Amino acid sequence: MRFAPGVRRFAVPAFAAAAVLAPLAFPLALVALAVGGFVAWFFRDPERQPSGPGVVSPADGRVSVVREEGDQLRVGVFMNVTDVHVNRGPFDGRIERVSHRSGAHRPAFSKDSERNERVDVAVATDEGPAEISLIAGAFARRIHPYVAEGDDLARAARIGHIDFGSRADVLLPPAYDRADLLVAEGDRVRAGESIVAARER
């Protein structure tokens, strides 16, 4: 199984503690082993393929935001602790800017999360400008983008991950309107697989 970068940073100390504690305090060794196993499971990175044409979800989880921002639509996906936390590119394009903004660590599903730490990825697409935002949650303390300015972005390709809880948004190109949306708040989606919007050709 493939894992997101950084898994060793959290999992190895837990497994090492389990090995040290096993002959001294077996119950504590089991706890450490369980923590290591949970961390490894949390950083899992399964293969994904889009289920059809259109904009794919940037994250596993539940759609928590659908709103208009000027002439564009934003779709946000909240990732809880059981979801895969590797994020995917929603469309093909070229990355124009990757910017980091420090901020709070409010629960990623709350309205206050707009002020959280985040990484915004501006993308030029054939259908106009778009943006992907990786937003830290209450327990997330680090956002790991895999992309940089000038990179080509491929639909469903891995673009980053966030340690321990978060939200990923996609600001759709202005060519999309509400009639093109295929999801609503509360829907479950899978990164790189579920289609969140598609236009008639």
Active-site residue numbers? 166
Report the C-alpha gap between 176 and 154 in whole angstroms. 19
Are 4 and 134 in contact by the 8 Å Cβ rule? The answer is no
Report residue 132: phi and psi, to 5°: -120, 135
Sign, CA torsion 42/51/199/88: positive
Provide the 8-state DSSP code for 176.
-
Phi then psi for 40, rounded to 5 degrees? -60, -45
CB 187 within 8 A of CB 76: no
Q: Give, rounded to a whole angstrom, the gap between the first and last alpha carbons of the chain.
A: 38
3-state secondary structure (DSSP) of residue 124: strand
Task: Give alpha helix (H) positions in the chain.
Answer: 7-21, 26-42
Beta bridge mates, 100: 119
